[in-house]
Chain A
Amino acid sequence: DAKTTQPPSMDCAEGRAANLPCNHSTISGNEYVYWYRQIHSQGPQYIIHGLKNNETNEMASLIITEDRKSSTLILPHATLRDTAVYYCIASYSGNTPLVFGKGTRLSVIA
């Protein structure tokens, strides 16, 4: 699986968009980009995933660059409850288990 690189921490003001970057420069053509988050003392929660096209669901949007070497997770209107560790993972679908790195600790500030 391709290695991903994320900043260790970020802050975001409540109500503003949170943009979380992820670099995956060695990603191969059929590896998906997955995003999860983990709120303190809970199990990780799936957010979104994509292959090439940008994706949006009720939680977030995923923007993948055309060369697929990086992506950005966007939480459009961050709330205090979005404070969590966010994990970006690149993986072949169904081939090997997902490998979680250290993620980005997002703090949403009132």
Chain B
Amino acid sequence: DVKVTQSSRYLVKRTGEKVFLECVQDMDHENMFWYRQDPGLGLRLIYFSYDVKMKEKGDIPEGYSVSREKKERFSLILESASTNQTSMYLCASSLFSRLAGIGTDTQYFGPGTRLTVL
């Protein structure tokens, strides 16, 4: 079974702090994604990566950055946390290889990190 793990289930931080959310997948997937989920707004894509050291902006990248130094790990960074970044953060991975043109876009999600910024 695919396993996607996230570093924390719950996190409380203060405004202005630098926050790191870590995501690790164990299935050698090419693609990794970060979403946030807020009531009434559904899942919104923040950033995604289809290869090591590659990243692309999603729909709401402002206030966030990402890092993918190793294939299995994708980090989301809040450079200076603000209260409007209080949310559920979800990481996902999928196998599709854009270079080889093979695989499937089926995404496997981690359990989520509920971040509260005070």
- Contact call B43/A93, Cβ cutoff below 8 A: no
**How many whole Å from A88's CB to the nearest CB in chain B?**
13
In the assembled complex, which residues on chain B have CB atoms less than 8 Å from the CB atom of A101? 42
Contacts of B96 in A (CB 8 A): 93-94
Question: Which listed residue (B33, B42, B92, B105) contacts A103, Cβ 8 A?
Answer: B42
- Cβ–Cβ contact A93 & B104, under 8 A: yes
Cα distance, A109 to B28, chains bound together (Å): 40
CB distance from A20 to the nearest CB of B (A): 17
CA distance in complex: A103, B43 (Å): 11
- Pick from A32, A94, A100: contact of B43, CB under 8 Å: A100
Q: Count A interface residues, CB 8 Å.
A: 20
**CB-based contact A97/B33 at 8 Å:** yes
Cβ–Cβ contact B112 & A43, under 8 A: yes
B residues 41-61 with Cβ under 8 Å of A? 42-43, 45, 48, 58
Return the chain B residue nearest A46 by Cβ.
B106
Contacting pair A44 B105 (CB below 8 A): no
CB pair B109 A45 closer than 8 Å: yes
> Which B residues between 93 and 118 are near A, CB-CB below 8 angstroms?
96-98, 101, 103-112, 114
Closest to A44 in B: B109
**Chain B residues whose CB sits within 8 angstroms of the CB of A43 once the complex forms:** 4, 90-92, 109-112
Judged by a CB distance under 8 angstroms, whether A69 is at the interface is no
Closest to A45 in B: B109
CB nearest to A101 among chain B residues? B42
- A94 and B105 within 8 A (CB): yes
Which of chain A's residues have a CB closer than 8 A to the CB of B106? 34, 46, 49
- List 20 interface pairs A-B (beta carbons < 8 Å), by A numbering: A36-B107, A41-B88, A43-B90, A43-B92, A43-B109, A45-B109, A49-B106, A93-B105, A94-B96, A94-B98, A94-B104, A97-B33, A97-B45, A97-B105, A98-B105, A99-B45, A100-B42, A100-B43, A101-B42, A102-B42
